[in-house]
Amino acid sequence: MSRQLYRIFFINLFLAAFLLNCVWACDICTVPRLGKEEGLKVESQDGKWFFKYLFEQQNWHEKEGGEGHALHDQGHHFHNKAREDFHHLTFGGNFTDTFSLSAEIPYVIRHSIEVEDHDILGSKQKSEGLGDIFLIGQYALSKQEASKFNVVAGVKFPTGGTEEKNSVGTTFESELQPGSGSFDYLVGGIYKHASGPWAFTGNLAYVFKTEGDHDFEFGDLLSTSLFIDYTLNPQSDAWITTVGLDTNLQYEQKQEEAGAEVADSGGVTLLMGPALMIAANQRVSFFANVMLPVYQDLGGVHQELDYIWTAGGKIIW
């Protein structure tokens, strides 16, 4: 067996071990960021691997427990999220100079305020566990020095927990579980163009959702992003600093529960905010951004986002 085949065997064995026990997380972070941290040039040639850690926090506009309870009693799907924390671990490899494969494994912590159970009404609740793992492959159709275009495809596996319970033993609703219990499928593309210190990255992705546990199906997601970045010191060999503006537009279709459409779901969200990336050298980089909801047109009585922020790092070897 060749050295390359040994590498492929062991990386697949490594990922398979995670697939048995781990999972991935939220579309709102992973899908919009497609292509964000990759450089315009191929970062690593055949046989090199990468690891990325990304912390993401989503902050929601919650309501007081009694107000949320009134909405729930009126039949609204209102879950009163307060904050959601995601620890994303991504392992991957560039198997050729045109094809890469990565697995994202999240740990999910969802904080909410109880709106249904009278005994703990208004109390702070927490659901946490491993989320659903996402395998994503990218293939470069063109990889010129100044621009390139990649096609992307992925599958999310139902490996996350869906039976987490609150402080009195009641199972959290599907939107508050770490996992979905569904197989979901992603297709899309990434385009990059560089001009001097400027770099422009755009992506377009569609995520097909299927029915998961508890007869619940999240709505299909259409997402498109534009990242505009400017490198402050492009001639440097280390600590290269890039500032930018990230924009993401999402359209989510209605959710379904037990075959019925959920009125309080779906809609359009436009997010925008500043970004920072620092490359310590050719192998290690750090990044962060803040995304604010510039526009939200959501279905029914739908909880709105206050803001999202992320921070992380990447190493290549």
CATH number at residue 174: 2.40.128.130
Rounded mean pLDDT, 260-282: 92
Using DSSP, how many helices (H) and how many strands (E) does the chain show?
Answer: 3, 16
pLDDT of residue 274: 97
Q: How confident is the model at residue 119 (pLDDT cuts 50, 70, 90)?
A: confident
Kind of pairing between the strands at 216-217 and 198-208: unpaired
- Decide if pLDDT at 43 tops 60: no
CA torsion 230-233-234-237 (nearest 10°) is -140
Contact 270, 291 (CB under 8 A): no
pLDDT of residue 27: 58
What residue numbers bound the domain in which 98 lies? 3-316
- 75-85 pLDDT tens trace: 777 788 899 99
- Decide if pLDDT at 68 tops 80: no
Contact 235, 269 (CB under 8 A): no
pLDDT of residue 17: 36
Domain count, the chain: 1
Give the strand order in the sheet containing 260-261.
216-217, 256-257, 260-261
Q: Which residue has the higher pLDDT, 209 or 65?
A: 209
pLDDT of residue 179: 93
Measured CA to CA, the distance from residue 211 to residue 316 in angstroms comes to 36
Rounded mean pLDDT, 164-168: 93
Measured CA to CA, the distance from residue 273 to residue 288 in angstroms comes to 11
Q: How confident is the model at residue 282 (pLDDT cuts 50, 70, 90)?
A: confident
Count of Cβ atoms closer than 10 Å to residue 86 Cβ: 23
- Decide if pLDDT at 42 tops 50: no
Rounded mean pLDDT, 144-170: 92
Structure tokens at 241: 């600093």
Q: Which amino acid is at 10?
A: F
Chain mean pLDDT for the chain: 85
What pTM was computed for the model? 0.86
Q: How confident is the model at residue 51 (pLDDT cuts 50, 70, 90)?
A: very high
pLDDT of residue 52: 94
210-240 per-residue burial string, b: 16 or more CB within 10 A, e: under 16 = ebbbbebbbbbbbbbbebebebeeeeeeeeb
User: Of 188, 187, 190, nearest to 147 (Cα)?
Assistant: 190
